[in-house]
Structure 1
């Protein structure tokens, strides 16, 4: 049942994106939390996405044409449509993924107005590293190399570190 719900959510997301592309004909961003399992929308994932949504909104504010936060079976998903060069957008999102304390916890996918994904490799960046073993994230995800509990533990730990260091709050 969960797989069919996730597939429906992916179809709904694709339909939503298709409507945005037809309406705006501009690049867009999809941001999701890297959180395994069936409970992808919870206090931690929602807070992570809200904090990074605020940062992304600040960075891209002059270029935002449309923004949406949706809670789906895939977890919280933020969509931005930006009036900005997709290559420049990708440079910025790679910096967020690589340098922000919560960057490991999210995937920020950038697409051009023709729905072509702007990848790290296309931009000349190395593949994204796994935050647990330093292998490539893509290979570890395919192999389910670290198990859900270890990944959840890492994400929760990063969130706690962020909240304590930047907001002075114990979680």
Structure 2
């Protein structure tokens, strides 16, 4: 049964908290792989700015979780275990899925590219051995910025765009998804 998150904390998050959260996520991933020994989907939301857990990110997260579950259902992949975490550093989900990692990664890349909110999702696929599959493994370029044609990593590093413009774009994408009835 899916678990969707509500009631965001709206807490301001510091860089040390983000780094600690990333380390904790990697530890959780390794624990899941040790326990379940099948393909692991690790899902988070791309959230610029100091607030990572907001009503906006929760709504984007819930859309993403539904889309991943729908993809698994359409593909005939069994989700063996699922856990969602509500954290100040942003919502997270782990899904142990009985499917080949490469097929899951290709399908989730397509989901990220074709869903109205896909650009706002970070869907990592880990093999049972703990290898993270990346877009470059499939000869795909880095993801682009929400607002311009540069790579997202460059714009984030340079803080090239005002937070208000990024948030406005995120809200517009969410409204598009809501209005289209996207899964």
Aligned partners of 1:6 and 1:73 also within 8 Å: no
Q: Determine the structure 1 residue equivalent to 2:95.
A: 80
Report the Cα distance in structure 2 between the residues aligned to 1:4 and 1:133, rounded to whole angstroms: 28
Deviation at 1:119, TM superposition (A): 1.0
Contiguous gaps of at least 5 residues in structure 2: 1-12
Deviation at 1:158, TM superposition (A): 0.7
Aligned partners of 2:29 and 2:42 also within 8 Å: no
Note the alpha carbon deviations across 1:104-131, whole angstroms, 9 max, x for none: 1111111212222211111122222222
1:98 has 2:113 as partner:
yes
Q: Determine the structure 2 residue equivalent to 1:108.
A: 123
Report the Cα distance in structure 2 between the residues aligned to 1:13 and 1:91, rounded to whole angstroms: 22
Contiguous gaps of at least 5 residues in structure 1: none
Note the alpha carbon deviations across 1:92-114, whole angstroms, 9 max, x for none: 11111111001111111112122
1:161 has 2:176 as partner:
yes
Aligned partners of 2:117 and 2:177 also within 8 Å: yes
**Aligned residues: CA RMSD:** 1.8
1:68 aligned counterpart, secondary structure: strand
Deviation at 1:135, TM superposition (A): 1.8
Q: Determine the structure 1 residue equivalent to 2:16.
A: 4
- 1:11-160 matched pairs, under 5 angstroms: 11-61=23-73, 62-160=77-175
Report the Cα distance in structure 2 between the residues aligned to 1:134 and 1:23, rounded to whole angstroms: 41
Deviation at 1:7, TM superposition (A): 2.7
Note the alpha carbon deviations across 1:64-114, whole angstroms, 9 max, x for none: 121111112321111111121111011111111111001111111112122
Greater shift, 98-107 or 118-127, is seen at: 118-127
Aligned partners of 1:87 and 1:123 also within 8 Å: no
